[in-house]
Amino acid sequence: MLEDKSQELTPISKLGEFGLIKHLTENFPVVQNSTKVSIGDDAAVIDSENQKVVVSTDMLAEGVHFNLGYVPLKHLGYKAVVVNLSDIAAMNATPTQILVSVAVSNRFPVEALEEIYAGIALACNRYKVDLIGGDTTSSNAGLVISVTAIGLENEEKIVKRNGAKPNDLLVVTGDLGGAYLGLQILEREHSVYLANPNMQPEMEGYDYILERQLKPEARTDIKKKLEELDILPTSMIDVSDGLASEVLHLSDQSKVGFHLYEEKIPMDESTIHTSEEFNLNPAMATLNGGEDYELLFTISPSDFDKIKNHPDFTVIGHATAEEQGNFLVARGSNQLIPLTAQGWDAFLNKE
């Protein structure tokens, strides 16, 4: 859990709740003009300056969303922020503030929370967001981190899930499937370690997919790139639960169907090679794996020429009439495979 096991660790009870919050948050600067009152008062104050306020929250629970057997605490803090900022980016808004609440058992010393908050601080600095509040409490069930993210945007620029129309093009940023394969490597090596603690983990050559799992990034950069191309998506969502699940969400909210082309789905070479190592179909890793935190969106067909050769974007399908349903068009054929959501569901899956 902590790199230096020889240091004398500080029990949380030594600081108490308010002392702990002050200790963990005293070095978080305020960088957003919209933050008027931050940590230290009963509530924070945000001045939206006539923009709409966009809010999202996510909770990460030990044993459900992460395994501390192989997830470093600093990475966990960073990722907890990123997954929430990704939701703000998926609304085409700019993230500005976060609130962080942590429930922790007495097996965690103060130094463990310092590691988590060091990761949170790195994310705040990277994405220029302010930590403006939160809470800490005790837990009888390990570690739970809840982050609420706040963003601002003019109403006419906010993109929801319900605007796709038939014939719109389905576009995704970056590449998919890497985070899922990174998780498979971590699970495999953790199992080997538990069976024989003297065995060294085999991580060489998996750097990219491990980073996709342990230290993902929110695509807050996409908003500016789309503005430069003079494109406003008609609908958008982030890829957190698997590509198939997100396509079906857009379908449900926009009342359209989709044809998704297997051969168009972007994947990194390391994702493909690792899929083969695990005897997995690489496309299945992208469809059902999740945690890529790329953005999936639709655009008008008239915007195709603006986006067709851009390195950050891949057109992977198109919208159809709702009654035509949702299908994966199989690679190398015109076979239509019904699209089903088999991705992450916290109430159906266990680590």
Residue 3, token pair as written in the block: 């790199």
**Cα gap 211→218, rounded to integer Å:** 13
* DSSP character at residue 322: G
| Average of per-residue pLDDT across 181-203 | 88
Q: Are 75 and 212 in contact (CB under 8 A)?
A: no
Task: Pick the closest to residue 187 from 165, 159, 206 (CA basis).
Answer: 206
pLDDT at 77: 97
The answer to which of 11-15, 125-129, 319-323 has the lowest mean pLDDT is 11-15
Task: Report pLDDT digits (tens) over 246-298.
Answer: 999 999 999 999 999 999 999 999 999 999 999 999 999 999 999 999 999 99
Whether pLDDT at 54 is above 60? yes
Residue 88, token pair as written in the block: 């703000």
pLDDT at 343: 55
Q: Are 150 and 95 in contact (CB under 8 A)?
A: yes
Q: Assess whether the region 12-156 and the region 169-338 belong to the same CATH fold.
A: no
Q: Where are the domains of the chain?
A: 12-156, 169-338
Give the CATH number of domain 12-156; options: 3.30.1330.10, 3.40.50.920, 3.90.1520.10, 3.40.50.720: 3.30.1330.10
Distances (CA, A) of 271 to 183, 303, 340: 11, 30, 22
Residue 249, token pair as written in the block: 């969400």
Binding site, annotated residues: 42, 56-58, 65, 87, 117, 134-135, 161, 238, 240-241, 291, 344
Taken in order 170, 174, 179, 180, the sign of the CA dihedral is positive
Return mean pLDDT, the chain: 92
* DSSP character at residue 32: -
Beta bridge partners of 238: 295
3-class DSSP assignment, residue 215: coil
Binding site, annotated residues for ATP: 117, 134-135, 161, 240
**Cα gap 293→164, rounded to integer Å:** 20
Give the CATH number of domain 169-338; options: 3.90.650.10, 1.10.3720.10, 3.30.70.1140, 3.10.129.10: 3.90.650.10
| Average of per-residue pLDDT across 184-212 | 90
Binding site, annotated residues for substrate: 65, 291, 344
pLDDT at 350: 44
| Average of per-residue pLDDT across 82-101 | 98
Task: Pick the closest to residue 80 from 218, 174, 184 (CA basis).
Answer: 218
Q: What are phi and psi of 215, to 5 degrees?
A: -140, 70
pLDDT at 160: 98
Binding site, annotated residues for Mg(2+): 42, 56-58, 87, 135, 238, 241
**Burial classification of residue 315, based on how many CB atoms lie within 10 Å of its CB (0-12 exposed, 13-18 middle, 19 or more buried):** middle
Helix crossing, 178-195 with 207-214: angle to 10°? Answer: 100
Whether pLDDT at 5 is above 90? no
Whether pLDDT at 23 is above 90? no
pLDDT band for 315, please (50, 70, 90 cuts).
very high
